[in-house]
Structure 1
Amino acid sequence: MRKYLDENSNELISVICNGCGKHLLVENGILKEGCFEADAVFGYFSKKDGQIHSFDLCEECYDKMIARFRVPVQCREALELL
């Protein structure tokens, strides 16, 4: 869960893992810890049609989530880190 200074600002003030509740490190509006950010937009054929679900997971919770997958995630190296 991300919190910003106010509605009209992009300045990040905190990130909390939706899985375990851990407060991730944010300094001067910059997230300084690994975090999985998800935004799922549910469409017409879904029971959640018209809903957008957003959440953040710390790396530990992300690892626990993907460990349950029957088909492993695709992993590749990033060519350029921003």
Structure 2
Amino acid sequence: MREYNEEQQKLFRVVCNGCGKNMEVENGILMEGCFHSDWMFGYFSKRDREKHDFDLCEDCYERITKEFAVPPTVTVVTELL
């Protein structure tokens, strides 16, 4: 869950939706690893027209993905733009 300063639209708080941990934010910048999902369900979905938005700390991401029947595809990116 992300909260922004209304006046400047600056990020001031990120809370893990999995465990409730307050993640470190400094000057509008998230200072630790976080999985962010912002997904709009579409046609043929039971959740058609619903938008889901959540954040997971790295510990919750690891815990949840360990339960997957098929693990996520991981690619190491060597050049960050």
TM-score bin (small chain): over 0.9
Question: Could you say if the C-alpha distance between residues 9 and 50 of structure 1 is closer, same or farther in structure 2, counting changes exceeding 3 Å?
Answer: farther
**Which of 22-31 and 39-48 deviates more?**
39-48
Structure 1 spans left out of the alignment, 5+ residues: none
Query: Partners of 1:23 and 1:4 in 2: how far apart?
Result: 14
Q: TM-score, normalised by structure 2?
A: 0.93
**Could you say which residue in structure 2 is the equivalent of 1:5?**
5
**Which of 62-71 and 9-18 deviates more?**
9-18
Matched residue SS, 2:59: helix
RMSD (Å) for aligned C-alpha atoms: 1.3
Query: Partners of 1:9 and 1:45 in 2: how far apart?
Result: 38
Give matches, 1:7-26, under 5 Å.
9-26=8-25
Pairing 1:69–2:68 present: yes
Report percent identity of matched pairs.
Answer: 53
Question: Could you say if the C-alpha distance between residues 21 and 46 of structure 1 is closer, same or farther in structure 2, counting changes exceeding 3 Å?
Answer: same
Count of matched residue positions in the alignment of Structure 1 and Structure 2: 81
**Could you say which residue in structure 2 is the equivalent of 1:51?**
50
Per-residue Cα deviation, 1:4-63 (whole angstroms, up to 9, x for no partner): 001x64310000000000000000000000000001210111111101000000000000
Q: Tell me which amino acid in the other structure corresponds to 1:17.
A: C
Q: Which runs of 4+ in 1 moved over 6 A?
A: none
Q: TM-score, normalised by structure 1?
A: 0.92
